[in-house]
Copies of this chain bind each other. A is one copy, B any other.
Amino acid sequence: MPSLSPYLNATPYQKARYMTRKGNIYSVVPDRAPEEIFETLAESGEVRIERIISDAHASPEGFWYDQDESEWVMVLEGSAGLRFDGEEEVLVSKPGDWVDIPAHVRHRVEWTDPGEKTIWVAVFY
């Protein structure tokens, strides 16, 4: 009789293989996103990789991100304006633009693209 739970009989290598996951960063983007969407693509104790979908969202008036973790973030589709506390200039980010933000560097999303979804990949570490 074949095992009903092959996982139980798997070798450590096979178990690791089962944990190999995949996806496409552009897939299953909803037509409308009333709230920003945050999805964890991978994580361990020290790192979290997220896909973020913004639909013309911006940080609330007067709000600053002030994070305990560093964040490396890249725009893949759409566009966004990032502001850093103490700077006048807004950093306009287009597909492929990345920024590595040390912990506690206060920043906010001034705007995201009004015409299409903005897809980000972010690594918190």
Contacts and interface: CB of A to CB of B under 8 A. Distances in A.
Interface of A: 13, 16-17, 19-27, 41-42, 44, 46-47, 49, 70, 72, 74, 76, 84, 86, 91, 95-106, 121, 123, 125
Given A26-B96, A99-B21, A105-B16, A44 B84 contact: no
Nearest to A107: B20
Contacts of A22: 91, 97-100
A21 B76 contact: no
Stoichiometry, copies per complex = 2
Contact of A102 (B16, B76, B101): B16
A22 B84 CA distance: 13
Given A105-B16, A123-B47, A70 B42 contact: yes
Contacts of A23: 97-98
Nearest to A24: B96
B17 A86 contact: yes
Given A16-B103, A20-B99, A49-B72, 8 more contacts: A16-B102, A25-B74, A25-B96, A25-B97, A42-B100, A44-B70, A44-B125, A123-B123
